[in-house]
Amino acid sequence: MSRRPPSSGEDSSPELEQLTAALERTEAGLRKTEELARVGSFSWRLSEPAPSWSRQMYAICGIAEGSEVTNDSFLAMVHPDDKAEVERAFERTFAGAPPVSISYRLRCPDGTLKHIVARAELERDESGRPMTLFGTAQDVSERVHLEAARFELEEQLHQARKLESLGILAGGMAHEFNNLLTAILTNAELTRLDLPEGSDLREGLDEIVTATHRAAELARQMLAYSGHGQFVVRAVDLCKIVDRAQQRLRAGLPSTVRLEIEHAEGAVIFEGDPAQIEEIVSNVVLNAIEAVEEGPGVVTVKTGRRECDSADLEACVPYRNEPLAPGSYVFVEVNDTGVGMNAETLAHLCEPFFSTKFPGRGLGMSAVLGVTRAHLGGICVHSKPGDGTTCTLLFPTHVSETEPPATLVRPEAQRRAILLIDDEAGILRAAKRMLDRIGFEEVLCADSGAAGLRLFQERATELVAVMVDLSMPGMDGVEVVHAIRELDAEVPVFVCSGYDAEETSARFEEKVVTAFIQKPYTTATMMVHLSPLIMR
């Protein structure tokens, strides 16, 4: 039996109540769904002056629910750079295009900038005339911000890996470079000593020695960039460092540049290598002076102390993906009123040999970064085109507990012989000449770690010392030294390397090595270490 609909005279309120309740539940569910998805919806009967918005649509746009919104008032909220694209999307929709999707930015009345992804479709009547515009708008601001943050982290990681790779390359090049310079410098010095006073050849050899020392300085900069420079650590007062640096720089200060110094009250002290710190501070100040030398301009150098948390330190130039530790720092801040730098220049600022001036200026800011990070500090650089640049060097105020290796004493040997172990034939020949001149009766040479160990086993009682190259194929210097120590705990052992003392010492236990000799070494350096062994 079919059910007939209620007549107008019958009571239909229970059925209407059920339908109304079901409609309310559906609408509530739809509102909740829109809220969770951050999706608002709208419909616009073109015969009416304004569109109808859902509650979430008002929430997304930051407008009180029920407020009248016209097409013009909505477009006024769209970011100026996106407005033309939104208007073109409307035009495509009314021209009969399939559902149109578009991304744009929206400026809410409270100033909040939101990222919106919208989709719209036009409904037409049977004759094809536009009737109603339906659409949705999703707030994707959180996703956009997360993607931007992820991209920034990826860029930082990429930059850190790039700097790490360059650091490894620079350190390896410096080591090989120092090996070559050792042979050049040693031969040049010894040949010069063999020549009589007034010889025309001496002038040329002097030039070779001078050029070799300059090349060795470049190698030291490369080691500094790699974060493994050689440091003499003691208390450093940044105020005194800045004062010494500015005294040197004022002599060549252009008349268009004013240099101002602002010190914090009291000493600004941390532990570091004063010479290295003065060098990098001078480098940064000189960069600032050059940025404003066409002036007129001002370079301001400030020193002080500050507490840095993780957020403060995240602004520092990334280095090998090694974060800085929050805590107490001292700083040197160098600000200039120059032309500033764009984002691309900032991204390359700490790469080796990068310069905004002209090529051939050395390692520059890359060496500054390497020395600063070797002191467990960091560099923060803020700059915009036309707004000048501010470069801040941060150094932690912790106290180092590193102690230099102790010197061993060797009882008097039967002869004054020394064992020289190095895989570079040129270094062996040059160093043998040098050791002969210093006064050793015999210089035993071995071109590998294994050969050197065999010689030591055969001639140990005749040796007053052993010189070992650190990096050799096969049995390297570390293995040789440990093997020698198992045979003789007292013979002086000197480790030579193109790397620095700090990195080399870290590979040996305390008191295993007598001293470290940095390549390229000079006759004077060798005499300081070895002459006492001959003079006994």
Listed ranges 7-16, 212-221, 365-374, 512-521; the one with the highest mean pLDDT: 512-521
Considering the domain 234-396, what is its CATH architecture? 2-Layer Sandwich (3.30)
Fold of 148-225: Helix Hairpins (1.10.287)
Is the confidence at residue 436, as pLDDT, over 50? yes
Helix 200-225, helix 365-374: angle, nearest 10: 60
Average pLDDT along the chain? 80
* Displacement of CA 75 from its chain's centroid (Å): 43
CATH number for the domain formed by residue range(s) 17-139: 3.30.450.20
- The answer to whether 17-139 and 234-396 have equal CATH topology is no
Give CA–CA dist 319/289, Å, rounded: 26
304 pLDDT band, cuts 50/70/90, is very high
402 pLDDT band, cuts 50/70/90, is very low
Is the confidence at residue 8, as pLDDT, over 60? no
Greater pLDDT, 485 or 532: 485
pLDDT for residue 500: 66
**Tens-place pLDDT, residues 26-54:** 776 666 766 666 788 888 888 888 888 88
Give CA–CA dist 126/481, Å, rounded: 95
Give CA–CA dist 332/317, Å, rounded: 15
Label the pairing between strands 417-421 and 442-446: parallel
The Cα-based distances of 119 to 132, 202, 245, 402 in angstroms read 14, 83, 62, 65
Give CA–CA dist 135/94, Å, rounded: 13
Is the confidence at residue 267, as pLDDT, over 50? yes
CATH of 417-534, one of 3.40.50.300, 3.90.550.10, 3.30.420.10, 3.40.50.2300: 3.40.50.2300
Residue 296, preceding peptide bond in cis (omega within 30° of 0): yes
Mean of pLDDT values over 186-207: 82
Greater pLDDT, 291 or 356: 291
Give CA–CA dist 18/8, Å, rounded: 18
Phi first, then psi, for residue 190 (nearest 5°) are -65, -40
**Is pTM beyond 0.75 here?**
no
Show the CA angle centred on residue 485, arms to residues 481 and 488, nearest 5°. 130
Is the confidence at residue 197, as pLDDT, over 60? yes
398 pLDDT band, cuts 50/70/90, is low
Mean of pLDDT values over 47-65: 87
The Cα-based distances of 508 to 243, 309, 468 in angstroms read 38, 35, 13
533 pLDDT band, cuts 50/70/90, is confident
Show me where the domains of the chain are located: 17-139, 148-225, 234-396, 417-534
Helix 141-194, helix 365-374: angle, nearest 10: 100
